[in-house]
Structure 1
């Protein structure tokens, strides 16, 4: 799985896979087999099942706004 994530993250071709991941051909063959068997779709479906949104709420007391968004005075002023 780390091999696939490295390829996706860097956008490199399979032949540039670092040696610490093993042979690039073996990693690509495993990736290809997993695509054929819909392994990645099943992983995505399992992880995106019923999300618990309790901890995804944004409270306005912790969100900082730029001073212009707060109604602060600023900008160019015309002088008579």
Structure 2
């Protein structure tokens, strides 16, 4: 995570609330590509699929 941290967006809130933890979103993106599941079928612990899709 430390190697890609400079590439990630700032988590301070702009219009709206704070973003979900970067690690959780990256794990959701990796899971999506590793398993080939549709983005709408992400397991609940990863949060809403819309949030993951927007950050992707």
TM class, shorter-length:
0.5 to 0.7
Q: TM-score, normalised by structure 2?
A: 0.53
TM-align CA RMSD = 0.5
What is the rounded CA distance, in whole Å, between the counterparts of 2:39 and 2:33 in structure 1?
Answer: 10
Q: 1:19 matched to which residue of 2?
A: 44
Which ranges of structure 2 fall in alignment gaps of 5 or more residues? Answer: 1-25
Point out 4+ residue stretches in structure 1 off by more than 3 angstroms: none
Deviation of residue 28 (structure 1)?
0.5
Tell which has more relative contact order, 1 or 2 (C-alpha 8 A, sep 6+): 2
TM-score normalised over the length of structure 1: 0.38
Instruction: Report the CA distance between 1:14 and its aligned residue.
Output: 0.3
Partner in structure 2 of residue 76 of structure 1 = none
**Which structure's CA Rg is the greater one?**
1
